[in-house]
Structure 1
Amino acid sequence: MIFLRSLIYQVLFYALLVFWILVAIPTLPLPPRFFMSVAKMWGTSSIWLMRVVCNTKFEIRGRERIPDGPLIVASKHQSMWETFALLQFFDWPLFIYKKELGRIPFFGWYLIKSKMIEVDRKGGVRALMDMSKRAAVAIQGGRQLIIFPEGTRRPVGAPPDYKSGVAQIYAMSNEPCLPVALNSGLFWPRRTFLRYPGTIVVEFLPPLPAGMDRKEFLPLLAERIEEATDRLVAEGRAEQAEIFGRVPDVAVKER
């Protein structure tokens, strides 16, 4: 049943993506916020679809901790799920994307239209510094940068691998940072199309104020995210054990 539900969701998920891409076409000549409204609807509809098809629910904690205005949102990254699910919580969200994605018809146009920050990963230190400067300027202009400090999706239970880029942007922007913990990798594991029933939990943690020393900031950020993520993962595994009588094999392999 999980295989069948996951297959149905996979097909409908991409059909829904195509639908919203087409819906967004009229926003191309309009101000960027019009497209962002469509992107948020895509995110919320994808979450709804996952609940209906896969019985995967969603719980949010600590929403009252989200400050208004310019912000760095530093999230744990276990799944594709958080790349669209977090959009709905922020007024004017911002992502950093690989330069190659900007060449994809429609998708790349929307990235450029919404003034996301591109980075040339082959450009070395100079390209990364330029990206950090542009991201800092965008944040100071009132946007909320959603960034994954480990750079890529990490398996559930894998040792943390936080990069210095988030600390660089934090120092240059001089704005607060909101840590985010989650357990999405238990229910939407990377490198498989299987989607598991249960409850994805996202928790917004107490913000780190602007102005901290970079050497203190990154270890504290990692500590807060990892401690909360471990707690949420333990909750998720307990829920899976109740549903299945055991933790699913894919989730075990992610340890």
Structure 2
Amino acid sequence: MILLRSTLFNLWFYSVTTGFTLGSLVLRLAGPLAPAGWPEGLVRRWGATVLAGLRPLCGIRYEVSGWENLPAGPSLVVSMHQSAFDTLVWLLLLRNPAYVLKRELTRIPVFGPMCGLVGMIAVDRGAGPAAIRALLRGGDRAVAQGRTIVIFPEGTRVPPRVRATLHPGVAALASRTRLPVVPVATDSGLHWGRRAFRKFPGTIHIVIRKPLPADLPRGELMARLGAEFAEGSAALGMPLPAGHVDKSVGTASGGLPG
């Protein structure tokens, strides 16, 4: 049954994505005749439509706790990253968020140009210092637009109960933008794993934890984020191994979804 339900959801995912891709092409061709702000609205509706299939097709629902910890204004949402779900759900939870993502995604036909149209922050994770400069420029633009930034400092999707390196680009971004740093814990990988065809029924938890000040010294901020992830993961029944960092996961960049 899980295999059948997962097959149906994957068909749903690709059908919805194809439909919205065609819609974006029509709207781009329409030029000035297209509604104002259509890229942001289209991306949000795409995410909402994909996730709308999770409960009826896979038996997966999601719960968000800690809303009171999310500042009313722009912030820097620093989330654990276990699943493609994580990159979809913030399109619904926030108004027009700016994601930090790897530049390779912008080379995908149609999807790539859409990332540019909605102002996502694309970074070449192999570019070294140039990647940090691009990250900071993107952060400046997002702050000027009054947007919340979403970053995944593990740099890739990490299985539950695995402690990965947190990459320091997040500290540079916090220092530059001066936005409150909001750690987020999740157990999404228990139900929708990395590159996993099968989706397992249950409830995905998204836990918004208390914000950290952006002016913490870099080392202290990174340590506090690691502690927040560990505590949040343990509270969700997925304790991380103490003192062990799995260096086989993650990237050399500042926190790009992968």
For the Cα contact (< 8 Å) 1:187–1:195, is it kept in 2? yes
Note if 1:100 corresponds to 2:104.
yes
Q: Which amino acid aligns with 1:210?
A: A
Q: Secondary structure at the match of 1:95?
A: strand
Unaligned residue ranges in structure 1 (runs of 5+): 236-255
* Structure 2 counterpart of 1:242: none
For the Cα contact (< 8 Å) 1:32–1:115, is it kept in 2? no
Question: Quick one: which of 203, 210, 214 aligns to 1:210?
Answer: 214
Distance, in Å, in 2 between the alignment partners of 1:133 and 1:140 is 10
C-alpha distance after superposition, 1:129-150 (max 9, x if no partner): 2123213302321111110011
Q: Which amino acid aligns with 2:141?
A: A
With the length of structure 2 as denominator, give the TM-score of the two structures.
Answer: 0.84
Relative to structure 1, is the Cα distance of residues 31 and 214 closer, same or farther in structure 2, using a 3 angstrom cutoff? farther
Distance, in Å, in 2 between the alignment partners of 1:233 and 1:44 is 28
Distance, in Å, in 2 between the alignment partners of 1:36 and 1:59 is 24
Relative to structure 1, is the Cα distance of residues 37 and 217 closer, same or farther in structure 2, using a 3 angstrom cutoff? same
Relative to structure 1, is the Cα distance of residues 194 and 63 closer, same or farther in structure 2, using a 3 angstrom cutoff? same
Q: Secondary structure at the match of 1:24?
A: helix
Question: Quick one: which of 228, 237, 253 aligns to 2:232?
Answer: 228
For the Cα contact (< 8 Å) 2:121–2:139, is it kept in 1? no
| 1:124 to partner: Cα distance | 2.1
Q: Which amino acid aligns with 1:3?
A: L
For the Cα contact (< 8 Å) 2:79–2:151, is it kept in 1? yes
Q: Secondary structure at the match of 2:236?
A: helix
* Structure 1 counterpart of 2:24: 24
Distance, in Å, in 1 between the alignment partners of 2:204 and 2:157 is 16
Aligned residues: 234
Note if 1:168 corresponds to 2:155.
no
CA RMSD of aligned residues (A): 1.9
| 1:13 to partner: Cα distance | 0.9
* Structure 2 counterpart of 1:129: 132
Relative to structure 1, is the Cα distance of residues 31 and 122 closer, same or farther in structure 2, using a 3 angstrom cutoff? farther
Distance, in Å, in 1 between the alignment partners of 2:224 and 2:233 is 14
Note if 1:191 corresponds to 2:195.
yes
Unaligned residue ranges in structure 2 (runs of 5+): 240-258
* Structure 2 counterpart of 1:64: 68
Relative to structure 1, is the Cα distance of residues 33 and 213 closer, same or farther in structure 2, using a 3 angstrom cutoff? farther
Write out aligned runs for 1:32-47 (5 A).
33-47=37-51
For the Cα contact (< 8 Å) 2:122–2:135, is it kept in 1? no
C-alpha distance after superposition, 1:178-232 (max 9, x if no partner): 1111100000011321000000011111111232222211111121122112222
* Structure 2 counterpart of 1:180: 184
For the Cα contact (< 8 Å) 1:182–1:233, is it kept in 2? no
Q: Which amino acid aligns with 2:16?
A: L
Q: Secondary structure at the match of 1:200?
A: strand
Among all aligned residue pairs of Structure 1 and Structure 2, give the percentage whose two residues are the same amino acid. 34
Distance, in Å, in 1 between the alignment partners of 2:74 and 2:26 is 28
